[in-house]
Amino acid sequence: MSAALDKQEGTLPADSYRLLFPFVAGDLYAAPTTGDLLHPRIEPDGRFVLDLNRGHRALLASLEPTELSLPYLRIEPAAARLARLAPVILQADGIEPVGQAQWFDPDSRRTLLLLYLDRPAVISGRTLAGRPIRYDIRAASAGYVWVAKQLEGDTDVYRVTPLPERLVLAVTPLAGAR
């Protein structure tokens, strides 16, 4: 998978950060539970290639039983295990985050999630608190799927989407980050 790092010009000099690619195992929204399994080389122009096969054995060993933290979400079959690739951008020589990193499709202007599921599974759920949100994530087989939020009427719906032609790791600098 090829991607480029997107940052505002001059806000993050190349020598001021490092990218890590841990996974959140067993949930969609939580802190990463694995170390950096992928280790891509970042080119001077911000481009990089992630070889998802390289860390696959370590990912499989890191999978945990799925316990979705949002009470309205469920996964079927219940024994299915999942992990979300959760990029992190830190100080080059420290442990403090310098920004929030999210996968982004610049053509559709949607943020994306990259999930791994260990078998065919469905993640579903709905909440009406605030803006209506529905999850309808269907993986037909074990492997990676891209998930995007799509607008349907007045409801945000999360579902599987094809790999975008252009993929960006968008970084929003944190206020006061050095």
Q: Which position has the higher pLDDT, 130 or 161?
A: 161
Query: Cα–Cα distance between 12 and 170 in angstroms, integer?
Result: 12
Q: How confident is the model at residue 155 (pLDDT cuts 50, 70, 90)?
A: very high
The tens digit of pLDDT for each residue in 14-56 reads: 677 888 899 999 999 998 999 888 888 777 777 888 888 888 9
Q: 33 vs 63, 75, 117, 156, CA distance in Å?
A: 9, 19, 16, 27
Report the C-alpha gap between 89 and 132 in whole angstroms. 31
Q: Token pair of 101, please?
A: 């990193």
Q: Which residue has the tokens 């032609």?
A: 165
Q: Hey, CA dihedral for 100, 103, 106, 108, is it positive or negative?
A: negative
What pLDDT, on the 0 to 100 scale, is given for residue 10? 46
Total-model pTM = 0.88
